[in-house]
Amino acid sequence: MMEIYRLLDELEMMIKEGKKMPLSGGKTLIESNIFLDRLDRIRAILPEELEQARLIISEKERIYQEACAKADEYVKESQNHAARMLDENEITKNAMQVAEEIVAKAQKTAEEIQREADEYAESVLTHMEIVLRKGLEAISRGKEELRKS
C-alpha cells in the first residue's frame, strides 16, 4: 500500500519539479520513460492490493459463517438441555430461562461479530477506493500532461 503512495508522490514531484516551457501556457517537460515506468509499477502493485481486499472480504464471510454455526450450536444445546428438563415444572422454567439467555447471547455475539467484520471490510474497501481513485487521478493527470506536451 505504501509503495503505491510513494510512486504517486514521485509522479507528483516529477510534474511539480519538471522544467516549465516558456510561452507554452504552463506546460512542463518530464522524463516520459521514468513517468511511464512508475505507472507500470503502480499497475503491477494494484492487483496485489485488490487481492488483499478480496481476502479480507473472504475472511469476513468465514467469521460470519463461524458465528452463525456457533449460534446454531448454542440453540441446539439449549433445545437439548430444555428437552431433558421437561419432566419437572420448576426445572423446566429454569431450563427455558437458561436456553433463552444462551440464544440471546449467541445472537448478540453473532451480530457483534458481523458488525465488526462489516466495519473492517468497509474500512479496507474505503481505503482501497481512495488509493485507486488517487492512482487513477494521477494517471489521468499524467496522460493529460503527456497529451499537452
Give the model confidence (pLDDT) of 27-49 as tens digits: 878 888 988 998 888 888 877 77
CA 149/CA 143 separation, integer angstroms: 10
C-alpha cell at 3: 509503495
Give the model confidence (pLDDT) of 123-132 as tens digits: 888 988 998 8
pLDDT score of 88: 62
The domain segmentation of the chain, as residue ranges, is 2-18+29-148
pLDDT score of 124: 85
pLDDT score of 57: 87
> What are phi and psi for residue 88, nearest 5 degrees?
-115, 140
Strand partners, 29: 19
Residue range 2-18+29-148 in CATH 3.90.1570 = no
Give the DSSP H or E segment for 29: strand 28-29
Residues in the chain predicted with pLDDT less than 70, given as ranges, are 1, 85-89
pLDDT score of 141: 87
pLDDT score of 104: 92
pLDDT score of 32: 84
Q: What percent of the chain has pLDDT above 70?
A: 93
What is the Cβ-side half-sphere exposure of residue 91, based on CA atoms within 13 angstroms?
8
Q: In Å, what is the CA distance from 139 to each residue of 37, 70, 73, 104, 133?
A: 12, 47, 51, 51, 10
Block residue for cell numbers 506546460: 27
Neighbour tally for 116: CB within 10 Å? 13
Give the DSSP H or E segment for 19: strand 19-20
